[in-house]
Structure 1
Amino acid sequence: MTIQVSPSSISDSLLNRDAFLNGLLNQVTTSATTGWLQQLRDSAVKWVRHSVIPNTRNEEWRFTDLSLLKEVEFNSVDIKTLEKFQETALDVEIFSEVSHCLVFVNGIFAPNLSAITNLPPGLKIGNLDILPDAVAQEYLAQSEGTRDVFTTLNTAGLNDVAVVWVGKNVVVQNPIYLLFISVAGESAIISQPRCLVVAESNSQVSLIEEYTNRRGAEKAEDEVYFANSVTEIWVNENAQVSHTRVVMQGEAAFHIGKTAVTQAQYSRYSCNAVTVGGKISRHNLEILQTGEQTETTLNGLTVIAEKQLADTHSVLFLNHPHGVSKHLHKCIIGDRAHGVFNGKIFVPKHAQLTDAYQLNRNLLLSSKARVDTKPQLEITADNVKCSHGATVSQLEDDEIFYLQSRGIDRNNARKLLVNAFASEIINFIPVSPLREKLLKTVVSLTHK
């Protein structure tokens, strides 16, 4: 007997394959206000319903176990919780050194907390309402790196978007601050911050993107939430974007973020990414070169302790000649924490005269701390200058002894060495109050 299965029944059998993922999808999907946005979300919903949460059998996730995430039942954002949020939770010192700021609470724009007035000509910042539909359709969710399960989940629940639009030949002198705050209520919540940055030709802009909780608030460190963020950055011809990304989440929080960057010819992009805390955090950084003679500079720092897990995956596609990239990522890992780094650089045959450098340096503060590092180069071009490497080390006894011989006690000697290791990355951050806050956090987290 032959059993015939119709294509429609096969498709139906693949729907809702993952109960946890389907539960998240049900929490984040709501009706949109415009036709094109609803179509975008509907397409993402269909894709997610055929997907599953990655596990350690997946090569890209084999060191990052999401079972703790799947144990939590997440709910949608509670509007009452947002109404209780107080302005006093904002860091006014950082605001004093930036030109303008956008504040989003649980992924929802908070105009009363933002500073978006007196904009120079050619600069637009706000939410999706500031862009015409035709322009938004051209850029939103159109990056090459936006087709994975968590990024598509973000698109499926697309509600509010932080938008920074820098017009042609516009030079923004001071950094623009994008603050995304997660506020949990009585139950665990999922929020999905979204950011779209477009730097038109010959423009220059500096961005600071921070993800945090209500630091200083009572029981804020115990709040359970899942921040699933996506940032798309378009660097057009001869434009320059300096990007600082800081993740400072609570000890019980989960954070998975995607940064998708598209670089046109002669453009320059730099990213200073710092991750501190969080039960499980992961940053997926994907950069696509669409023209020749681009410059890409990536600096990263991960600081974790206790039983935290932090994963950084970067992919750089140098598809055209004369591309230059420099990548330095550092990890400071204490107690029983687990750090993961996987950096990939692809240089195809036609990308001649490419100069690419990548190094991952890891500092283990405990004999039980662990790191899995995998820098990768895939080169088919024959006239390039490319190198990559990784180091794993501990604090050297002779270095500590040297400082002790100069009258510094052992505990302070360890602090100095850890701070020196972290400062190489933190010093790239353009705002001094944020640098100081990060250094204090590094000390507190690594010397509990």
Structure 2
Amino acid sequence: MSIQVSSSNNEVMQRSPLNRDSYLLRLLEQTGSPETDLELLRSLRSQSKLLIQEQAFPTTRDEEWRFTDLSSLLQVNFEARTSQSSVSSEQIAPFTLPEAAESRLVFVNGVYQPHLSSVKGLPKDLYVGSLSELLAGKQEEAIALQSRLSHYLGKQPGAAELFTALNTANLTDAAIIWAPKNLVVETPIHLLFLSTAAASPAFSQPRCLVVAEPNSAVTLVEEYVGLDEGVYFTNSVTEVWVESNAQVNHSRIQRESKAAFHIGKTAVSQARDSRYTCTAISLGGKVSRHNPEIFQTGEQTETYLNGLTIALQDQLSDTHSAIVYSKPYGSSRQLHKCIVGDKAHGVFNGKVFVPQAAQLTDAGQLNRNLLLSPKARVDTKPQLEIVADNVKCTHGATVGQLDADEVFYLQSRGIDAASARSLLVYAFAFEVVEQVAIASLQDTLTHFLKTQIP
């Protein structure tokens, strides 16, 4: 089902002088040729470059990009960072979390910043650090993890997708979280990816790898923040491996510059009896897209996806999710909400694949959309592909505006019209915001909802 609201289209963007193929090759050239002694990374980069050369830059003629026009991206010639930006601890203070003060990794423009990071508050058996540090480690534990990297890094399905391959083609460093067997980590881990404006538009490609071994549990906050209101491009990839009977609670917050471009992939593999929860909130970016892809590879897996998109002014924010079952007795619940105002455009495409082998699947999917202005637009497409005959699967979508009767009721109780609207918008969004596992982050998002939405 596809619902398109508002007959007015976004303003037509002028095409870049470069054609799409030339632009793609230019982005690939920005990856450079990093030096490393690890054959695994050399092999992954080489394979990814070959995959990119066989593909074309996406257009609205491609089904997966039908509602997301990247013409404005093509108008900007991005360059890879050639020098590190100087960021102080005072600058990152507004974005740090009290609950994760001693369990934080900070990357600036994709480059790890050890002087801004701290992992003192984490268990000794848990590895939280950068890929470069892990490869340089000589301890017995580091050597053991190095030998196991080949089983996880770059091995998620969907690695051939264009922007994922582009990220892998520049793979030199990454944020690594590795929880050993039977370890329950009580302290949340904060991965903070900061972007700064430069004299020329910059291009960075953050990478994360999360491995939760059997019977372990981890809480993770992955956050993308723009320090300046400049033009830049962030192309991120996060791989999450949830082994048997493990649990990962994942919050992903995107609040880039309103002039920035952000494309992110979250690829998750779940083994038997595992549980994965993701709350993804998108606030920033001129053009942004998030692709959560969940692969249930074992029986009795549980997946919970919560999403909130807020698009204002002329923002375009897209969420393309996929939940792929392969074994029986799996379950999933997905709730995604969009708040769209001004001339902004929201997109949701949620897929659920249930093959013949995935009998007794229980899947529920709901997309709810709130339009705040006559020119706001949303395209929604919940999608089920079911071959199995003994399943319980539901999906649905709603699109609407604020109820005039509800606004009037609040006004009749002495609340002014603007405050009444703000209260109703906050109530609409809070169902997702309250799923964020960190109290201080909930407070930050609540403040945004109450002050930034007209």
Q: Same fold (TM over 0.5)?
A: yes
**Would you say 1:26 and 2:29 are equivalent positions?**
yes
Q: How far did 1:86 drift?
A: 2.1
| 1:92-131 correspondence to structure 2 within 5 Å | 94-98=96-100, 99-128=102-131, 129-130=133-134, 131=142
Matched AA of 2:119: I
Q: Paired residue for 1:65?
A: 69
Q: Is the 8 A contact 1:94 1:431 kept in 2?
A: no
- Residue deviations 1:326-349, cap 9 Å, x none? 000000000010000000001111
Q: How far did 1:124 drift?
A: 0.3
Q: Secondary structure at the match of 2:406?
A: helix
Going from structure 1 to structure 2, the CA distance change for 1:393 and 1:183 (only over 3 Å counts) comes to same
| 2:317 pairs with one of 297, 310, 319 | 310
Q: Which runs of 4+ in 1 moved over 4 A?
A: none
Q: Paired residue for 1:263?
A: 270
Q: Secondary structure at the match of 1:258?
A: strand
Q: Is the 8 A contact 2:122 2:187 kept in 1?
A: no
Task: Please say which of residues 96-105 and 350-359 is displaced more in the overlay.
Answer: 96-105
**Would you say 1:332 and 2:332 are equivalent positions?**
no
- Residue deviations 1:159-181, cap 9 Å, x none? 21000000000000021000000
- Residue deviations 1:345-368, cap 9 Å, x none? 011112111100000000000011
Q: Paired residue for 2:178?
A: 165
- Residue deviations 1:85-131, cap 9 Å, x none? 22212135743212501111111110100012353132000011325
Q: Secondary structure at the match of 2:398?
A: strand
**Inter-partner Cα distance in structure 1 for 2:169 and 2:361:** 37
**Inter-partner Cα distance in structure 1 for 2:97 and 2:393:** 40
Count of matched residue pairs: 424
Matched AA of 2:249: S
**Would you say 1:204 and 2:217 are equivalent positions?**
yes
Q: Secondary structure at the match of 1:91?
A: helix
Return the structure number with greater relative CO, CA threshold 8 A, min gap 6. 2
Going from structure 1 to structure 2, the CA distance change for 1:316 and 1:288 (only over 3 Å counts) comes to same
| 2:396 pairs with one of 385, 389, 399 | 389
Matched AA of 1:376: Q
Q: Secondary structure at the match of 2:432?
A: helix
Q: Paired residue for 2:92?
A: 90
Q: Paired residue for 1:355?
A: 362
Q: How far did 1:195 drift?
A: 0.2
**Would you say 1:192 and 2:218 are equivalent positions?**
no
**Inter-partner Cα distance in structure 1 for 2:419 and 2:107:** 38
**Would you say 1:79 and 2:83 are equivalent positions?**
yes
Matched AA of 1:134: S
CA RMSD of aligned residues (A): 1.4
Q: Is the 8 A contact 1:17 1:50 kept in 2?
A: no
**Would you say 1:56 and 2:69 are equivalent positions?**
no
Q: How far did 1:43 drift?
A: 1.3
**Inter-partner Cα distance in structure 1 for 2:23 and 2:87:** 29
Q: How far did 1:146 drift?
A: 1.9
**Would you say 1:278 and 2:285 are equivalent positions?**
yes
Matched AA of 1:335: D
Q: Paired residue for 1:431?
A: 438
- Provide TM-score, normalisation by structure 2: 0.91
**Would you say 1:45 and 2:49 are equivalent positions?**
yes
Instruction: List alignment gaps of at least 5 residues for structure 1.
Output: 1-15, 215-219
**Inter-partner Cα distance in structure 2 for 1:91 and 1:364:** 34
Matched AA of 2:91: A
Matched AA of 2:25: N
Q: Paired residue for 1:246?
A: 253
**Inter-partner Cα distance in structure 2 for 1:57 and 1:29:** 30
**Inter-partner Cα distance in structure 2 for 1:79 and 1:56:** 35
Task: Please say which of residues 434-443 and 150-159 is displaced more in the overlay.
Answer: 434-443
Q: How far did 1:142 drift?
A: 0.4
**Inter-partner Cα distance in structure 2 for 1:42 and 1:348:** 33
Q: How far did 1:17 drift?
A: 7.7
Matched AA of 1:119: L
Task: Please say which of residues 41-50 and 225-234 is displaced more in the overlay.
Answer: 41-50
Q: Is the 8 A contact 1:267 1:294 kept in 2?
A: yes
Task: Please say which of residues 104-113 and 119-128 is displaced more in the overlay.
Answer: 119-128
| 1:361-440 correspondence to structure 2 within 5 Å | 361-440=368-447
Matched AA of 1:183: T
- Provide TM-score, normalisation by structure 1: 0.92
Matched AA of 2:169: A
Q: How far did 1:183 drift?
A: 1.2
Q: Secondary structure at the match of 1:97?
A: helix
- Residue deviations 1:265-284, cap 9 Å, x none? 00000000000021000001
Q: Is the 8 A contact 1:17 1:51 kept in 2?
A: no
Identical counterparts, % of pairs:
54
**Inter-partner Cα distance in structure 1 for 2:384 and 2:203:** 36
Instruction: List alignment gaps of at least 5 residues for structure 2.
Output: 1-18, 135-141
Q: How far did 1:439 drift?
A: 2.1
**Inter-partner Cα distance in structure 2 for 1:52 and 1:182:** 27
